Amino acid sequence: MNTTDKNRTAIQHQLTAALEAINALADKGLTARSVSITGARPVIVIDRPRGDSLVGAQHIRERKGQLVTRTKMATPFHGCQVEWDVCQSTPTSGLH
């Protein structure tokens, strides 16, 4: 098998895994917003899940100014990585 065939096979496996994960997410009432197949496994971005339909760990945390913190959550799911953003506003005290 040459390099092109190996790459094609790897991408086909990742596409299959992504499709299975997207269907399983849909069964939980979650919608995929984007899918990226660039690394070892597909990355699927979803809207923030409600309730406990999907639980993840903090992947990236960054501040946007002094008032908003954006946290990217991630979890492995059906051979893929599922990610979503959580934005939190920091209450200000003493500002009128």
Return the exposure string of 5-26: e unless at least 16 CB atoms fall within 10 Å of the residue's CB, then b: eeeeeeeeebeebbeebbeebe
The residue ranking higher by pLDDT, 69 or 78, is 78
**Contacts for 56 with CB less than 8 Å, ≥ 6 apart:** 73, 74, 75, 82, 83, 84
Distance CA 22, CA 3 (A): 28
Residue 94 lies in a domain: no
Residue 8 lies in a domain: yes
Indicate the pTM of the whole model. Answer: 0.79
pLDDT of the residue at 6 = 87
pLDDT of the residue at 94 = 52
Residue 23 lies in a domain: yes
In this prediction, residue 93 has a pLDDT band, given cuts at 50, 70 and 90, of low
Distance CA 13, CA 48 (A): 27
Domain that holds residue 38: 3-89
pLDDT of the residue at 77 = 96
